[in-house]
């Protein structure tokens, strides 16, 4: 564990507290345009660091690692909560960003061009709710919804209590798009047409609303599942994933009797029977974590 921590916490040329990730190096293991700093990897990194804090021995080397981890956790939580978070108000702020700002008073710190905001998000974003976007890097924001990153952010308390509630509000407000008839969309929206050709390289497995490109993965459904969903999963033979906008069809290349599909059902069943079991897979909020810093005083509407 210490060797892994030494690698992840080592000094480098990157100026961000996040972990750099190549495309296809997460659960989404094929080209989907997630290169950079995907939210899934950052949420897992945050949770791993918090777990390491409780596992390290209190010897000289262990205390040194603990100090480095605490420093990284503060920087990482601030970065994700501040720059990856999107809600109605934040979307409106980004829409009105000025560009080419300099010095510490800059509000548009990543020099994001407002015209790069995709059209779909203006109709998708409800007044009540929010989520962590897929990726943030200089002059680039990936506004897609990625289920695993947001769910792990809640479980690890990377999301603040207010942000956790907002994510669940978003799921409620956009139930048909994100859950449909079988939860849960791994990504939303799907890449289509020319964008799909360029980003995925015409990947025949990641066609629109299939597999990792907007497909539905019941293994992630432990947070939102009904008795009807359980019965349907069993009837369909516990498939790996479902296709279609509403997740109605068993995936065209989906494997059956998948362990994670069955495990998602078992976890959901255990949580409903005894909510205290949530403590086995989640971490309480760290009160020592620094709160999000507000915008600079130079910001004007």
pLDDT digits (tens, 9 = 90+) for 284-301: 988 776 555 444 443 444
Bridge partner residues of 197 (DSSP): none
Q: Confirm if 185 and 151 have CB atoms less than 8 A apart.
A: no
Q: Confirm if 50 and 73 have CB atoms less than 8 A apart.
A: yes
pLDDT on residue 196: 97
Tokens encoding 293: 């810093």
C-beta atoms surrounding 124 within 10 Å: 18
pLDDT on residue 11: 83
pLDDT on residue 214: 97
Q: Confirm if 144 and 187 have CB atoms less than 8 A apart.
A: yes
C-alpha of 200 from chain center: 20
Tell me 292's DSSP state. Answer: P
pLDDT digits (tens, 9 = 90+) for 19-61: 999 999 899 999 999 999 999 999 999 999 999 999 999 999 9
C-beta atoms surrounding 128 within 10 Å: 12
Torsion-angle region of 56 (φ positive above 0: left; ψ -120 to 50: alpha; else: beta):
beta
pLDDT on residue 194: 96
d(CA 121, CA 119) in angstroms, rounded, equals 6
CA dihedral 79, 224, 261, 275 (to 10 degrees): 90
Q: Which residues of the chain have pLDDT under 70?
A: 221-226, 289-301
Sign of CA pseudo-dihedral 223, 254, 230, 213: positive
d(CA 77, CA 283) in angstroms, rounded, equals 14
Degrees, nearest 5: CA angle 85-89-90: 35
Contacts of 241 (CB under 8 A, 6+ apart): 186, 210, 211, 215, 216, 217, 218, 251, 254
pLDDT on residue 221: 67
Tokens encoding 200: 């995925």
d(CA 8, CA 255) in angstroms, rounded, equals 34
pTM: 0.91
d(CA 11, CA 107) in angstroms, rounded, equals 27
pLDDT on residue 291: 52
pLDDT on residue 14: 84
pLDDT on residue 140: 93
d(CA 233, CA 227) in angstroms, rounded, equals 10
């Amino acid at each position: 564990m210490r060797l892994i921590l030494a690698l992840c916490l080592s000094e480098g040329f990157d100026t961000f507290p996040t972990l750099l990730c190549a495309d296809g190096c997460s659960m989404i293991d094929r080209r989907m345009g997630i290169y950079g700093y995907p939210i899934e990897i950052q949420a897992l990194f945050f949770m791993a660091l918090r777990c390491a804090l409780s596992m390290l021995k209190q010897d000289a080397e262990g205390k040194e690692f603990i100090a480095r981890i605490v420093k990284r956790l503060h920087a990482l939580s601030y970065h994700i909560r501040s720059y990856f978070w999107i809600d109605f108000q934040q979307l409106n702020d980004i829409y009105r960003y000025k560009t080419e700002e300099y010095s510490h008073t800059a509000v548009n710190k990543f020099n994001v061009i407002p015209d790069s905001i995709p059209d779909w998000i203006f109709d998708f974003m409800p007044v009540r709710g929010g989520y962590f976007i897929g990726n943030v890097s200089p002059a680039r924001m990936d506004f897609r919804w990625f289920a695993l990153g947001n769910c792990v952010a809640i479980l690890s308390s990377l999301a603040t209590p207010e942000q956790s509630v907002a994510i669940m509000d978003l799921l409620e407000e956009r139930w048909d798009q994100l859950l449909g008839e079988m939860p849960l969309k791994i990504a939303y929206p799907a890449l289509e047409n020319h964008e799909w050709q360029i980003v995925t390289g015409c990947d025949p497995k990641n066609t629109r609303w299939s597999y990792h490109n907007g497909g539905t993965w019941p293994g992630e459904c432990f947070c939102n599942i009904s008795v009807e969903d359980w019965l349907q999963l069993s009837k369909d033979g516990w498939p790996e994933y479902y296709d279609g906008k509403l997740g109605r069809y068993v995936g065209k290349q989906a494997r059956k009797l998948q362990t994670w599909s069955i495990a998602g059902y078992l976890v959901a069943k255990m949580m409903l029977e005894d909510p205290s079991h949530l403590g086995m897979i989640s971490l309480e909020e760290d009160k020592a974590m620094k709160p999000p810093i507000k915008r600079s005083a130079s910001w004007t509407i």
